[in-house]
Amino acid sequence: SSGVVRRDRFSGGPAREFMSSLAADERIFAADVAVDRAHVVMLEEQGIVESDVAADVLAALDDVESAGHGALPDGEDVHEAIETAVIERVGPDGGKMHTARSRNDEVAACIRYRLREDLLSAVESTLALRESLSETAERHVETVMPGYTHLQPAQPTTVAHFLLSYEAAFARDTARLLDAYDRTNVSPLGAAAFAGTPFDVDRDRTAELLGFDGVLGNSMDASSARDFLAESLAALSTHAVTLSGLAEDLVIFANKGYVELSDDYSSTSSIMPQKVNPDTLELVRATAGDAISGLNGLLTTLKGLPRAYNRDLQRATPHAWRAVDDVSAATEVAAGAVATAEWPEETLSAAAAEGFSTATGVADALAMAGLPFRTAHEVVAEAAGRIDGGTPDLATLDAVAEDVLGDTLFEYVSREHVERALDPTYSVASRDSAGGPAPEAVAAQLDDAAAQLDAH
């Protein structure tokens, strides 16, 4: 019988296990049933397969679907196994399901069908993270904290400004994932092995039935193309890199006592009783390594593959599943960690005053009074050097001005102006250029972030 014939087709010999993707294909089991249904409906509508045969195949597919992936007969892959299961139920006519197609266009359709759903979940996780960043930022528009360059205290900023810097980066990550979605969501069906088919198939119809936005025109491209996987993994890897930066900042801030992670996102030590470690964020930070290695593995597999289908492609696919799962999970954890973290305001504002973080503000005040900025920079740098750490007082600044400018500082600016410039809260408030940390500038950024989130 035909069932026996089909099983024999995949002998595989000693390489049987090595060749089979059946276990890994569990991920696309539901997708394959959907693709089979759409294909059979189209074949019936085009008069390629008789209505009663199509009905029997569709009923068999329902049955195969409810039995589940685990109940499939053995096969080289899920496509062959489902076809065998359909033929077992329908008889030889079940073999009409595979008219006018190949596993090459079939598998590409299944991966695209499943990945687009996974990409949308990944997108949703980025939206949740952006929401928790924005909500936390809203509460900390006035919470002054130290800002860093080279990991050295640089200038005061606010917790809101810091958090929104990541929100903005994650907004671009969302956009990149959606771009990848657009190029994933097109149908290769009807390409058959690569050279099309003599049957009068309606490629637009199967695309429509499966919710694809369009079809891939060239049939050789349609069965060969995996750049949608590369693009998706690149978007996921880029997002994972942004996540790793956020995780690293939070690990550092937790270490300094600038942020307090909730117990749910911390871990204790099995030996050191006093420890509360930021383990979840360290794992978030590590996820980028996995995603990037997946992207590397994928691109290395794809590099130099000739047209059209080559079995190497079977090993390209799992990289995408791993990356999309790992990165989405890390994004969700990061969102939870951000939403539940506390930012101790007093510790932060005390820290913001350390290390003469307002030096730029003092130089700005002198420059605003008419001194060339370079000269102002020299005066403040000299004062910073004289006191060797900490913030110079007015007398020190004035003594330096006498030496460098031959004049008292207060020829140029009032005492009050210099005093204000030395205050981190004033420093932040004065930096009200568009996109800056001043509360009203941050309010505008919060509005932009909310508008962009609403648009999704």
Residues that bind ligand ARG (CB under 6 A): 21, 77, 103-104, 107, 309, 311, 313-314, 317
Token digits of residue 154: 């640089």
Token digits of residue 286: 């590590």
d(CA 362, CA 163): 26
Contacts of 299 (CB under 8 A, 6+ apart): 230
Token digits of residue 40: 């059979």
Catalytic residue among 51, 262, 269, 414: 269
Closest approach, Cβ 245 to ligand ARG, in A, equals: 35
* Local structure of 267: helix, strand or coil: strand
269 is catalytic: yes
How many residues comprise the chain?
456
* Local structure of 59: helix, strand or coil: helix
Q: Which is nearer to ligand ARG, 25 or 56 (CB)?
A: 25
377 is catalytic: no
Spacing of C-alpha 269 from chain mean position: 30
Q: Where are the beta strands (DSSP E) in 18-88?
A: none
> How many Å is the maximal CA-CA distance in the chain?
105
Catalytic residue among 1, 11, 150, 270: 150
d(CA 372, CA 405): 12
DSSP-derived secondary structure for 292-357:
HHHHHHHHHHHTTPPSS--THHHHHHHHHHHHHHHHHHHHHHHHHHHHH-B--HHHHHHHHHGGGT
Radius of gyration of the chain (CA): 31
Question: Residue 123 in contact with residue 179, Cβ under 8 Å?
Answer: no
- How many beta carbons lie within 10 A of that of residue 374, not counting itself? 9
Q: Which is nearer to ligand ARG, 317 or 427 (CB)?
A: 317
State the DSSP code for 51.
Answer: H
Report the amino acid identity of residue 100: A
d(CA 448, CA 371): 36
d(CA 219, CA 189): 9
Closest approach, Cβ 312 to ligand ARG, in A, equals: 9
Closest approach, Cβ 259 to ligand ARG, in A, equals: 45
Closest approach, Cβ 130 to ligand ARG, in A, equals: 35
Which helix (DSSP H) or strand (DSSP E) does residue 135 occupy?
helix 103-139
Q: Phi and psi dihedrals of 399, rounded to 5?
A: -60, -40
* Active site residue ranges: 150, 269
